[in-house]
Chain A
């Protein structure tokens, strides 16, 4: 019940903030899905400012600020309760999401503690922040190097916000949040493609291929921040595409907010944010009037990531610069493994042929994928993968085959919804 209350508060906060930022109406289902994604980000951001920056370990404060902010926006401009018209498409979409929810819920229940990095990194940080009070920074000590102490904190802070609301630590919260994030990803993909192309079957296929892949189900329910990164990337680009299709420039502000939030999910999210935001601004270079608002929205949303990275995050203990190190230099054999490994990953059975389909879709869509906004998305994804592979080459702390085996599939997993959106839109020639 408490969890449901938290979801409703987050949904209301996100919904009203979207209405406030982008008053023009757009598809209500997408609005609701984006609202919950944004609401969770607001929860995490407020928890960052109260718990971490102000050292206030009063559990009512983060919850109270979100509720108060929501009420202020509500009373500033009264919004009537929206009504959803249950069209055939919406019914099919909701039925698909229900079908996807069942295996996700079972898998989340099967792994109550999540995957290895959930209990050794993400949820461990959440427990320290929630229960450790002024000593929470113990988790950033060098002894915890295995917990990736330099990683941003949005996912742990979202869980802490729900624990604040409930008043106690509850393992069910990250478990339920992981399912909600998976369903939000599927929903935004499904209803977004439907809105952009009008093709119900394509929308359902895209959502099912991404969310019903057994390997993805396990990663979604592993309680890792990668799924949050994937959700915010998808949300940001969906807002941009909807803004262009329906001529709603204010939605671009929302896109910037999602990119800002993405920077606080993981270090990889920070890198991806820099790349996509640069691409976004390059794409928007002719709209000079909007530039200031977009930049401001981005900076406000990315502020926790900036503060954390510059002033709180300890240095990465698991880093050796292979370009300078004589003990562990970057070797040709390391480089060749990095160049060969991804191809074996792409044909690995765990993806059920997804990458072969993606290749087929890319070839069929052809040049349409490289024009205008889709081109910007495609180039951003390629540049990001290039930067990630370069990092594998430069940081020689870990043995490369083991490291790629542990992490590369998660990098791809976070990109999967966006890649699916990109190819689907290319094929439907939006």
Chain B
């Protein structure tokens, strides 16, 4: 039994050392990584819009992207986080302000024209449009 305990404690020492080594390697990698991490920086392109939405409770968020794709959902949810407490209502265009996040700007502008909205601001590939009949 005593031998087993010694073996077990040796394993504990090794595991602790391995974890500490691994976590420092991970930290060094993180320090050297200069690339952006797509999943965690999707929302930054919406920064700045919160100044326009001051006192606006809800805005529309229109996208033609595949909503079963987790990256698209991540982008929408990060946009929501960046612009909170304004509520982004997914694929609803009845509000005064509607954010168009389309697969290409041409499609977005055509949709805006078809709906009779006015494109006001192109912001990091995102188009903000005004709906004159919005609520």
| Interface positions of A (Cβ within 8 A of B) | 99, 102-103, 106-107, 109-113, 116, 119-120, 123-124, 127-128, 131-133, 135-136, 138-139, 141, 143, 146, 204-205, 208-209, 212-214, 217, 352-354, 357, 360-361, 364, 427
Contacts and interface: CB of A to CB of B under 8 A. Distances in A.
Given A111-B40, A208-B16, A209-B15, A106 B84 contact: no
A97 to B, nearest CB: 13
B5 A364 contact: yes
A207 to B, nearest CB: 9
Contacts of B11: 357, 360
B19 A212 contact: yes
B4 interface: yes
Interface of B: 1, 4-5, 8, 11-13, 15-16, 18-20, 22-24, 26-27, 30-31, 33, 37, 39-40, 43, 57-58, 73-74, 77-78, 80-81, 84-85, 87, 89-90
Contacts of A353: 15
Contacts of A354: 15
B23 A110 contact: no
A162 B11 CA distance: 42
Given A106-B30, A107-B26, A138-B87, A113 B74 contact: no
Given A208-B16, A357-B11, A141 B87 contact: yes
SS class, residues of chain A in contact with chain B: helix
Contact of B13 (A146, A205, A364): A205
Nearest to B20: A212
A213 B85 contact: no
A139 B83 CA distance: 13
Given A205-B12, A205-B16, 10 more contacts: A102-B24, A107-B30, A113-B40, A120-B78, A120-B80, A139-B85, A205-B13, A209-B12, A209-B19, A364-B1
Given A212-B20, A217-B23, A217-B26, A119 B77 contact: yes
Nearest to A115: B40
A116 B74 contact: yes
Nearest to A127: B84
A343 B19 CA distance: 21
B50 to A, nearest CB: 9
A212 B77 contact: no
Contact of B27 (A107, A112, A136): A107
Contacts of B5: 364, 427
A132 B54 CA distance: 11
Given A214-B19, A357-B11, A110 B30 contact: yes
Contacts of A138: 57-58, 85, 87
Contacts of A208: 16, 19-20
B8 A123 contact: no
Contacts of A139: 84-85
B12 A124 contact: no
16 contacts: A106-B27, A106-B31, A107-B26, A110-B37, A116-B39, A124-B77, A138-B57, A138-B85, A204-B16, A208-B20, A213-B19, A214-B22, A217-B26, A354-B15, A357-B8, A364-B1
Nearest to B78: A119
B85 to A, nearest CB: 3
B81 A113 contact: yes
Contacts of B39: 116
Contact of A102 (B15, B27, B43, B73): B27
B4 to A, nearest CB: 6
B118 to A, nearest CB: 26
A128 B18 CA distance: 41
A300 to B, nearest CB: 31
Contacts of B78: 113, 119-120
A107 B37 CA distance: 13
Considering residues B1, B23, B78, which has the most beta carbons from chain A within 10 angstroms of its beta carbon? B23
Contacts of B73: 146
Sort A-B residue pairs by CB-CB distance and give the 6 closest, nearest first: A132-B85, A103-B27, A110-B30, A119-B81, A127-B84, A106-B27
A284 B33 CA distance: 53
Contacts of A106: 27, 30-31
Contact of B22 (A99, A102, A136, A352): A352
A354 B37 CA distance: 29
Contacts of A123: 81
B26 A214 contact: yes
A143 B89 CA distance: 8
